[in-house]
Amino acid sequence: MSTIQPRVGEPVSDELVLVQAAKRGDVAAFEELVRRYDRNVFRIAQHITQNREDAEDVVQDAFLKAFQNLEQFQGQSKFYTWLVRIAVNEALMKLRRRRPERTVSLDEEVKTEDDSLPREVADWSPNPEQQYSQAELREILTRTIQGLPPGFRTVFVLRDVEGLSTEETAEALDLSIPAVKSRLLRARLQLRERLSRFFQRRESGDGNK
Amino acid sequence: MKCSEFLQELTNYLDGVLDERTKSELEDHLAWCHNCYVVCDTTKKTIEIYRDSQLYELPEDLRTRLRSAIVSKCHQHKKTGPRSV
């Protein structure tokens, strides 16, 4: 069985040049950085906040904060990792503001490790996503990932959707590497478990719903 | 290797960061344990489906609007200093 290939490649080599120019106040250079990463920041923000308007605000606030604080970016990490850290913090603030009661949708968070153990081990159809229309698939995937606790969801999105490395994810979320790995495993297994309900191979002739 | 040990290494295996010896123990386990094979295969599919799903893509008109707002706030920040934005 082959391994998973990351989605995001290495940063473009001129990135540091853009960052240096933006530090000197070159807004056009900063705009180029916005162009490179606005889609990523929007996706991350919407996954965390689960709200379109909040995600729009996060994109604006995160980039503005990045511009205002560029001096603090020392270039030890990638600009993108630094930006993601800002965006995640902005998104979490929005989420907390919208849901001040800490228990909202967090019932899974108090469960034990055992809840990540696979119970559903039926094989899936060869092309499970083709069993559904695009709109249905989107709905299934959205609802499934929204059911994860924010801490798991965020790690999964950064690692598996946005393609950050374990180290970059740890840095962006201010977590230890073992904590990232443990959350990632549990997030992956919980998503797998929940998707199995939709994607498992059907025995009889009702294979296409 | 037991199923529980396999599960602990699943993420490292899928990410391709295992040493050769552990990887080969794990693949021996996969060869005879159908349940773990299914869990491994469907976990991999889970990741791929999400990666390819294009959930929450930023529409081009909204993208343009957000970018102009950001650029204009950056210009304002330059003109009036950090405390006024």
* Overall average pLDDT of the A15-41 stretch: 95
- Torsion sign, CA atoms A46, A51, A52, A54: negative
Distance in angstroms (rounded) separating the CA atoms of residues A28 and A198: 47
Residues of chain A contacting residue B16, judged by C-beta atoms under 8 Å apart: 3-4
3-state secondary structure of A64: helix
The model's pTM: 0.86
Distance in angstroms (rounded) separating the CA atoms of residues A80 and A33: 9
Residues of chain A contacting residue B40, judged by C-beta atoms under 8 Å apart: 1
What chain A holds in terms of domains, given with CATH numbers, is 15-98 (1.10.1740.10), 107-199 (1.10.10.10)
CB atoms within 10 A of CB A8: 14
Task: For chain B, say whether A38 makes contact (Cβ under 8 Å).
Answer: yes
Burial of A195 (0-12, 13-18, 19+ CB in 10 A): buried
Query: How many CB pairs below 8 A link A and B?
Result: 136
Amino acid at A75: G
Burial of A51 (0-12, 13-18, 19+ CB in 10 A): middle
Q: Report which of A12, A13, A30 is spatially closest to residue A21, judged by C-alpha positions.
A: A30
The residue of chain B nearest to residue A166, with distances taken between CA atoms, is B15
**pLDDT of A90 strictly over 60:** yes
Residues of chain B contacting residue A42, judged by C-beta atoms under 8 Å apart: 56, 58, 63, 66
Interface predicted TM-score (ipTM) of this complex, two decimals: 0.89
How do residues A109-148 score in pLDDT, each as one tens digit?
A: 434 455 567 777 788 888 888 889 999 999 999 999 999 9
